[in-house]
Structure 1
Amino acid sequence: MYDVVGIGNALVDTEFKLSEENLANTGLARGNMTLADTNTQNALFAALDAQGIRPAKQAGGGSAANSMVAFAALGGTAFYQCRVGGDDMGDFYLGDLEQLGVATDVNFAVQNDGVTGSCAVLVTPDGERTMQTHLGTSSDICADNIKFDTLNGAKWLYLEGYLAMSPSVSDALTQLHTTARKHGVKVAVSFADPAVIKFAKEGLLAMLDRGVDAVFCNFEEASLFAEADGEADPVNALLKYSELVVITNSDKPTIIACRGDTGIIEHHIDAVPVSQVIDTNGAGDNYAGAFLYGLSQGLELPVCGKLAAEVAAAIVSQFGPRLSVADYQAIKAKTL
């Protein structure tokens, strides 16, 4: 039995430190995620190598997977639905999740003739992350890769927004949502990236229209969504779809909003100051995972926000999208 069941892309992150000029030369949209085919991904790696830019770190990634790691490392039980290839990268990816306490099932996750997805994470001196993603076999995730009975007894189903870009998973998401509601499981959606709203709004709306209990996003994503929805206020726009809305905003306070009996209730939780932002990759994912852990434990919304803010601050103060289990536990002990 699991507290949370997540589904999302399975990607091995390769992180690079580079200058603003080097980033501009790639032609990628700064701070956004861009999808790429095999040749384009290989060309980017080759171009970086030709400029003497070597990988700084390689680690398991994927937005929802990062959230599940934070959730499990803080003490919750998590299962991750995903699709990897029958290759060394796939073995590495699933083994990494297991080591961090997140359960998977190789009988559902591994596509023997597939290639595990990869993500090039380009980090500029200000810590901003820009990504180019080759989904590989993850782009074909479908009902065959989902172990539906993991929802029995679960508290939350967690969906990453990037799934809106994978048409193959649409029917499975409907089935997941139906199964979740049948078992009384709440549903959370993370927007994950501005590119999801820009290029896959229809798929994202399909997720929301089924009914969700929590939405996680940042201020840019919320503003883009509200504008596309004809709303001036992001909070009002999102509360049309969800009972709870959590909007992070870099070093500014996070807005936590929910519907109350007498109107909208808002909490504003200050970001935790950091001496230097090293890498923003995974900050939002970890915020959502830590916040969801707090919800699963029955903590008050402001307490969930404070725990999540502490975890996100630790993430941006280091290189890479995940902490060690010991670090997550230390933050929990300090905050709760």
Structure 2
Amino acid sequence: MSTRPPLTRLLSVGSILADVRLDVPRLPQRGGDVLGSGATISAGGGFNILTAASRNGLKAAFAGQHGDGPYGERIRAELVAEGIEVLMPMSADGDSGFCIVMVEPDGERTFVTSPGVEARPGQEPLSALQLGPADALFASGYDLCYPQLGPAIADWIAGLPPSVTVMIDPGPLVADIPADIMAAVLARADILTLNRREAGLLTGADDKAVAAKRVRDRLSPGALVILRDGSAGCFLLGGDIGEPGLQVPAPSVRMVDATGAGDAHTGVFLAALAAGYPAAEAAKRANAAAALAVTRKGPATAPHTDELNAFLAEQEAERTTTR
């Protein structure tokens, strides 16, 4: 990773769909019901990562499918508002999908996803995309699970030039990704980011250092593993960190909504790499961005650079006064 030129653009083939968000007092029992409140609809999924990167100085572009209905229209409008370029034409095969997001009082969220056109390859193949030598490419496990899109992404990623930085987030559906698809993308991944639950499902290990090592052994030479661990921060292994790895702590905050926290972490981490920060400092900034994101309701709640810098300065001042 260190021999590559600084990143100049983040391109995502990770699907963007509409988030239908509800506050719920608890999850309903099977066959039951609960009364939700605070319902909102906004762009979600891959949108959150692109937004986090763009707000922190890294040019971002969306290379996935988007539909011709109200959800697709909403997604395009929010991409334009964030200054994110749309690379693929609108699909005439239907609308973009949506995800029901149920948020409990402690901020934990549970999802039900209904895929749309973003789950299928478009009329223009991925190979038609023009990638620069300083581009970063992001793909998610959601997309790798889709029967038509997953194989197309895996085949394309396997043939990308080494100069393109490939970042993979297997996400909550990590156990559902076909083994051959997972093996293909891991073999080309330069950065793998996943949370502790996902690492356990992927490796069978409870210890995060052991899980990170097992994952690292499946990646390309010199690749970096980012194991996100909620309020504990994240554990880094590989890349310019090496072994035995490094735990990077996170600021202590009161969580309101965990939706999009991992996405904020990913987008800000890549933006920090693009700005020249080493992995450890990029992770520190990403942890702080995720901490800020969980104090706010909604998916795309990553801070802008100025706000993030102010928060980090405040955290440093607090540490100084308590020494």
The TM-score, its normalising length taken from structure 2, stands at: 0.84
2:24 maps to which residue?
18
Q: Deviations over 1:253-308 (max 9, x none)?
A: 310111579x624221111111x211101111110111111122221122101110
Change (3 A) 1:164 1:78: same
Report the structure, 1 or 2, having the larger helix content.
1
Change (3 A) 1:259 1:310: closer
Q: Deviations over 1:40-92 (max 9, x none)?
A: xxxxxxx86xx542452221001x32111100111110111121221122111
Aligned equivalents of 2:65 and 2:130: distance in 1?
Answer: 16
**RMSD of equivalent CA atoms:** 2.7
Q: Secondary structure at the match of 1:264?
A: strand
The reply to whether residue 304 of structure 1 matches residue 286 of structure 2 is: no
The counterpart of 1:6, out of the listed 12, 15, 21, is: 12
1:43 maps to which residue?
none
Aligned equivalents of 1:279 and 1:297: distance in 2?
Answer: 28
Change (3 A) 1:259 1:103: closer
Unmatched tracts of structure 1, length 5 or more: 28-46
The reply to whether residue 100 of structure 1 matches residue 82 of structure 2 is: yes
Q: Which amino acid aligns with 2:60?
A: A
> How many pairs align?
302
1:273 maps to which residue?
252
The TM-score, its normalising length taken from structure 1, stands at: 0.81
78-87 or 162-171: bigger deviation: 162-171
Shift of 1:175: 4.9
The counterpart of 1:318, out of the listed 268, 281, 296, is: 296
Unmatched tracts of structure 2, length 5 or more: 1-6, 314-323
The counterpart of 1:110, out of the listed 78, 87, 90, is: 90
The reply to whether residue 160 of structure 1 matches residue 143 of structure 2 is: no
Shift of 1:212: 1.0
The reply to whether residue 61 of structure 1 matches residue 44 of structure 2 is: yes
Q: Which amino acid aligns with 1:172?
A: A
2:4 maps to which residue?
none
Q: Give runs of ≥4 in structure 1 deviating > 4 Å.
A: none
Shift of 1:24: 3.1
Change (3 A) 1:324 1:314: closer
1:77 maps to which residue?
59
Q: Secondary structure at the match of 2:258?
A: coil
Report sequence identity in percent: 23
1:224 maps to which residue?
201
Shift of 1:181: 1.4
Q: Which amino acid aligns with 1:61?
A: G
Q: Deviations over 1:234-261 (max 9, x none)?
A: 0111111231000111111310111579
Aligned equivalents of 2:16 and 2:166: distance in 1?
Answer: 20
